Amino acid sequence: MNALAATNRNCKLAARLLGLDSKIEKSLLIPFREIKVECTIPKDDGTLASFIGFRVQHDNARGPMKGGIRYHPEVDPDEVNALAQLMTWKTAVANIPYGGAKGGIGCDPGKLSISELERLTRVFTQKIHDLIGVHTDVPAPDMGTNPQTMAWILDEYSKFHGYSPAVVTGKPTDLGGSLGRDAATGRGVLFATEALLNEYGMSIAGQRFVVQGFGNVGSWAAELISENGGKVVAVSDITGAIKNEKGIDIPGLLKHVKQNPGVKGFHGGDPIDPNSILVEDCDILIPAALGGVINRENANDIKAKFIIEAANHPTDPEADEILSKKGVIILPDIYANSGGVTVSYFEWVQNIQGFMWDEEKVNEVLKQYMTRGFKDVKEMCKTHNCDLRMGAFTLGVNRVVRATLLRGWEA
């Protein structure tokens, strides 16, 4: 089942649990607007190249739409639709005043020079500047984009609308980016895990973790977990996988990754088959890479008692059922990885106020949001007698529907 089918399925199940009218259920799945634009730029060698840029704006009942811009050669419209919809539910679960969006450009950023990427970003911004905005749609970095991309969008947008730092988040701090944003998703994963373990009278300290994916989210999660006494016993990324039953030296691994392409070749652990990472023996599994990695083929072999979804849509619905029968507790992506968008919200608030926070405040308020978010999800689980995924979806869908009806938009 692809990401869009799975997201639609979860939304429909949540709508039925909430007893919603079928008209409202249908309207929840239809995006507010889909934008597709041609972006033609001169390349460094003087030839012209054309790329397709797009933006899916899913829902704005609760506030401006929010979501990443990715640069990737294979942009699947279904996946982008699914991710835009996920952002609607994620911002509602986090209780921040946003709706969902997603977009990007079909290109291979590795094959473009910095100046070509800048020209492409500026042309894309020229094409969509009147469809994004501080109170309309606020982009952020995603796969293949970074704070520099956001700086170019901010500059190009400001040529049309005056200086507007709040039009994008995930910016460099010199242009109004928030302190703590870089670590936010990983730190949110830590706070979410703490909140879940707390329910079972447990703590991070002494638990054995496996982390799949050692990019921004996985590496920050691993670093913060090991600082809090957790033992990371296996880690993987696109270069390979390593394992150390006594616990991997995460600061040492971070140093290795800075100097090398990835975790492969790190001497503080034994190399293992990257395909076996998800079924390694551990207490807590953190998939922090791609979607759809936990499926019916490997679900039966998973040994973890808890799965914290740091990636978007890492677990297929078929795997969900298998794991649920095994008694594995899954903390769903739309809550577990919402630390990033929550700190993006803090950045937006700071930009609008023109008053920046120190890092301590960012982390402290993030912890409050993540802790309260978990309590809200648990309340829905009790009310509707459902698992954490459905608890999160009913919470998100309910908040969006209430805002929709209050605004008089019912179908």
Task: Could you list the residues known to form a binding site for NAD(+), using ranges.
Answer: 185, 216
Please report the sign of the dihedral spanned by the C-alpha atoms of residue 190, residue 191, residue 196, residue 199. Answer: positive
Residue 389 has φ and ψ, to the nearest 5°, of: -65, -50
Secondary structure of the chain: what % helix, strand, coil (to 5)? Answer: 50, 20, 35
DSSP 169-181: SS--GGGTPPTTT
Cβ count near 157 (within 10 Å): 25
Please identify which of the residues 12, 23, 43, 102 carries the catalytic annotation: 102
Strands 48-59 and 99-106: antiparallel
User: Would you call 102 a catalytic residue per the annotation?
Assistant: yes
CA distances from 210 to 121, 245, 276 (A): 37, 11, 11
* Tokens found for residue 295: 């499926």
How open is the CA angle 234-239-244, to the nearest 5 degrees?
20
Is there a contact between 211 and 283 (Cβ–Cβ < 8 Å)? Answer: no
Q: Which residues are annotated as a binding site?
A: 66, 90, 185, 216, 344
77 Rama sector, left if φ>0, alpha if ψ -120 to 50, beta otherwise? alpha
CA distances from 305 to 196, 217, 284 (A): 12, 21, 6
Going by C-beta distance under 8 Å and a sequence separation of 6 or more, which residues neighbour residue 321?
A: none
Q: Which residues are annotated as a binding site for substrate?
A: 66, 90, 344
Active site residues: 102
